[in-house]
A and B are shown apart, each in its own frame.
Chain A
Amino acid sequence: MTEDTIALLKENVIQGRKTQDDEGIEEGMAGTPGVLELIQMALEKKISPEAIITQALTAGMQIVGEKYSKKEYFIPDMLASAEAVGAAMDILKPHLEASNIETKGKFVIATVKGDIHDIGKNIVSILLKGAGYEVNDLGIDVPTEKIVEVVKKDKPDFLGLSALLTTTMLAMGEVIEALKKDSLRDKVKVLIGGAAVSDEYAQEIGADAYCIDGFAAIKVLDAFQEARA
């Protein structure tokens, strides 16, 4: 029974079905339990959150990633799966805390001051949440002071800064300088992204990485995790 529920959960992650109302990719799935319903069933069956995460959610996302690389899946498929996993993680969060199980890390993300563009940032948020990170999205046009304050208070492992414009990307450098001033720079890895920035710009302002998209961000974070281990 445990194996059945885990297998169903994994399959529904692959299908990108958050709830029973979602259609997924295979025909005839609408109306059958989706990830959220199956998570509840799994918890009722006392399946450990760790098993749910590793054997169903992460294993499912792994396959989704492979299908995306092979061009069998597109961004909407990837996001649907990530959204389902993100919503599942919200349900699992209190159970994880109770069992002292840690997430992959805390990730604070923001579009910097003066910039209101957030499509890319929102997609990155969904993907990272789906990849098992605890994401705190501060929104758009976020003042440098507020970002520094959150880093000081919440102690995230990672900070993601987004900017679309050549005029607003300068605020990324300001954030890094402000983090240095408050002796926080070595406490958090800073990742930058957005149409205006580049690898060179990341080096110029002293960011830890430039990520062209959400998938690159996941790879960079995984590399950080491996280096830390």
Chain B
Amino acid sequence: MPREGILVHTPYERITNEQVLQIHQASIQILNDPGLISFNHETTEILHSNGAEVTPVPNSDHPCWVVKIPEKVVLRALDSAPKTVKLGARNKDNSLIMKGDEPRVFFVSGSETNIWLDVDFQAYVKKSEPTAEVLVPEFHPRRGTVSDLCQAAHLCEHLETLDAFIRPVNIQDKDITEDNKDVNKFFASLNNTTKHFMAGLTSLKQLDNVVNMAKLIAGGEDELKENPIISFITCLVKSPLQFVDDTSQTLIEICRKGLPVVVSSSPQAGTTAPINEAGIIAQINAEVLAGITLSQLVNKGTPVIYGSVPVRARLDNLNDSYGAPETSQYNIDCVQMARFYKLPCYSTSGVCDTKTPGTQSSIERLFSDILVTLSGPQYLHCAYGLLDGNSTFCLLQAVLDDAHFQMIKFFLKPPQIGQTEIDNSLKQIREVVTTPQKLYIRYIRPLMRSGQLSMPYPFEGDGEADNVLALANERMKQLLSQPVEHIDEATTSQIFQEIPGILPRLNIYEKRSQQ
């Protein structure tokens, strides 16, 4: 049985059907005029041979072409793109089945941050009351390592609401190079979580090694096709409207492998896209459609996910402002566009501007987490543990996020209102009003432990003390003390023999035998 995620029974829709159609038509016009600038030769060739109008851009530093994609080519691609995409997992019970027309949300971690935030708690004594001691968190940022990635995967394995794992930390050990980064990040992640694993590729040269590793773990080529335990994310279009050379080539090669891939675009309203809602949505939709078109022309039927990460610019420094309400508006619009095409949607929420876990981070992330979830994207990168935009990852924050999503999931349970419930309630009301105390409390108990009532916030302190972070820290330690089902010893041994570049210290069986 695959994971259930949460089905949004009545998804929130921000734009009308007519507006969806207007955006679609505007995007089709954009793809034809002005079209895209392609910096990748093969992309240009593929589109050209399938009917796109191609014109070289004169006097450019790098060879590039204006590519105008006709509507019929786009529509054909939309037709052949699978409407249901399966993301497999080492533990098949952790698979995700995403249907483009079903607003069932799966919650996912990400993105690749450079900074890992350690937390420890120091005890402080109140000067005026020396017996009063408080625990104050101290945060220590440092560069992320492969061992951190293992720990992040380990924790995410045990976060109840987290359905799939996108690597949240960039591995920057001294012995990690561009040539061995991919195999190490894939192995570190796959070995520490049995959930689906998605990542971008650092080097296209590593694609074969990564896919071969996945085949060994899945049990063979056909098994990997049937149970794709890995998938990829590519941001092949740089906004506005430019096919990037290397990531376009990466998409082409991934499509040839037939593995699931997110075609994502991340324009910033105000700088790389129009600041007005209609403008940024028409543009991002055109950019994603261009990528999906390419994917289907390379390999018809490639399982492709509509990826949208639109964001508004901060007006004080032109950085991304994920906390701005407009960012949620854009994301919800894109979810509706993907649903219009009946394609599964990768969307974004929960990224916040603040740098450490606390009140501000919770407010910022919950705002978009609730709103975007309500719109029903299938694959929601909801920034478990992320801070300072996409710069920092903190395990403690991921634990806090898990508690938030438990509440959001509970909220989305369908209403229990039917004739049986009405009849039972009338009986209850008539009984209670005749009692001297007129309290319904005794009727709570049968529901309390059956999951029909939401439980209290798990990190609530006693009395007026705010111990949220300290309690979440305890929970984090508890989760990390739970074991993880690693890849078995024989497969691990085969991986280390056949896949070059994996750091020997990641072989837990070797480590154990040396101890």
Report Cα–Cα, A77/B436, bound state, in Å: 20
Report Cα–Cα, A137/B436, bound state, in Å: 10
B442 touches A74 (CB 8 A): no
Report Cα–Cα, A79/B442, bound state, in Å: 8
Report Cα–Cα, A80/B445, bound state, in Å: 9
What distance in Å separates the Cβ of B470 from its nearest Cβ neighbour in chain A?
A: 16
A76: contacting residue among B437, B438, B442, B456, CB under 8 A: B442
What distance in Å separates the Cβ of A124 from its nearest Cβ neighbour in chain B?
A: 11
Chain A contact residues (Cβ within 8 angstroms of B): what range? 10 to 19
B439 touches A123 (CB 8 A): yes
B436 neighbours in A (Cβ, 8 Å): 137
B445: contacting residue among A71, A77, A118, A125, CB under 8 A: A77
B439-456 interface code vs A (CB 8 A; 1 in, 0 out): 101101110110000001
Determine whether A16 belongs to the interface, using a CB cutoff of 8 Å to chain B: yes
What distance in Å separates the Cβ of B440 from its nearest Cβ neighbour in chain A?
A: 10
A16: contacting residue among B437, B445, B456, CB under 8 A: B445
Q: With CB as the reference atom, state the residue of chain B lying closest to A79.
A: B441
Determine whether A58 belongs to the interface, using a CB cutoff of 8 Å to chain B: no
Report Cα–Cα, A126/B437, bound state, in Å: 9
A126 neighbours in B (Cβ, 8 Å): 437
Report Cα–Cα, A16/B449, bound state, in Å: 14
B444 touches A76 (CB 8 A): yes
Determine whether A122 belongs to the interface, using a CB cutoff of 8 Å to chain B: yes
Report Cα–Cα, A125/B436, bound state, in Å: 11
B439 touches A119 (CB 8 A): yes
B438 neighbours in A (Cβ, 8 Å): 118, 122
B445 neighbours in A (Cβ, 8 Å): 16, 23, 25, 76-77, 80
Report Cα–Cα, A148/B23, bound state, in Å: 76
For residues 73 through 125 of chain B, which have their beta carbon under 8 Å from a beta carbon of chain A?
none
A112-146 interface code vs B (CB 8 A; 1 in, 0 out): 00000011001101100000000001000000000
B449 touches A83 (CB 8 A): no
B446 neighbours in A (Cβ, 8 Å): 23
B448 touches A122 (CB 8 A): no
Report Cα–Cα, A75/B438, bound state, in Å: 16
Q: Is the interface of B mostly helix, strand, loop or mixed?
A: loop
Known: A25-B449, A74-B448. Is A80-B439 also a contact (CB below 8 A)? no
Report Cα–Cα, A123/B444, bound state, in Å: 14
What distance in Å separates the Cβ of B451 from its nearest Cβ neighbour in chain A?
A: 14
B448 neighbours in A (Cβ, 8 Å): 74, 76-77
B441 touches A76 (CB 8 A): yes
Report Cα–Cα, A125/B437, bound state, in Å: 9
Report Cα–Cα, A83/B439, bound state, in Å: 12
What distance in Å separates the Cβ of B107 from its nearest Cβ neighbour in chain A?
A: 26
Report Cα–Cα, A82/B445, bound state, in Å: 14
Report Cα–Cα, A119/B441, bound state, in Å: 10
Known: A76-B444, A80-B442. Is A122-B437 also a contact (CB below 8 A)? yes
What distance in Å separates the Cβ of B427 from its nearest Cβ neighbour in chain A?
A: 14
Q: With CB as the reference atom, state the residue of chain B lying closest to A212.
A: B463
B441: contacting residue among A23, A71, A75, A118, CB under 8 A: A75
What distance in Å separates the Cβ of B438 from its nearest Cβ neighbour in chain A?
A: 7
Q: With CB as the reference atom, state the residue of chain B lying closest to A83.
A: B442
Q: With CB as the reference atom, state the residue of chain A lying closest to B442.
A: A80
Report Cα–Cα, A108/B436, bound state, in Å: 16
Report Cα–Cα, A79/B444, bound state, in Å: 11
Report Cα–Cα, A123/B445, bound state, in Å: 16
A122 touches B449 (CB 8 A): no
What distance in Å separates the Cβ of A142 from its nearest Cβ neighbour in chain B?
A: 14
Report Cα–Cα, A80/B440, bound state, in Å: 11
Report Cα–Cα, A119/B456, bound state, in Å: 21
For residues 76 through 132 of chain A, which have their beta carbon under 8 Å from a beta carbon of chain B?
76-77, 79-80, 83, 118-119, 122-123, 125-126
A119 neighbours in B (Cβ, 8 Å): 439
What distance in Å separates the Cβ of B403 from its nearest Cβ neighbour in chain A?
A: 15
What distance in Å separates the Cβ of B450 from its nearest Cβ neighbour in chain A?
A: 10
B439 neighbours in A (Cβ, 8 Å): 119, 122-123
A122 neighbours in B (Cβ, 8 Å): 437-439
A77 neighbours in B (Cβ, 8 Å): 445, 448
Report Cα–Cα, A71/B455, bound state, in Å: 11
What distance in Å separates the Cβ of B480 from its nearest Cβ neighbour in chain A?
A: 22
What distance in Å separates the Cβ of A187 from its nearest Cβ neighbour in chain B?
A: 27
A123 neighbours in B (Cβ, 8 Å): 439, 441
B444 neighbours in A (Cβ, 8 Å): 76
What distance in Å separates the Cβ of A145 from its nearest Cβ neighbour in chain B?
A: 23
Q: With CB as the reference atom, state the residue of chain A lying closest to B460.
A: A71
What would be 9 A-B contacts, judged by CB atoms less than 8 Å apart? A74-B448, A76-B445, A76-B448, A80-B442, A118-B438, A122-B437, A122-B439, A125-B437, A126-B437
* A-binding residues in B (CB < 8 A): 436-439, 441-442, 444-446, 448-449, 456
Closest 7 CB pairs of A and B: A76-B444, A122-B437, A76-B445, A76-B441, A79-B441, A122-B439, A23-B446
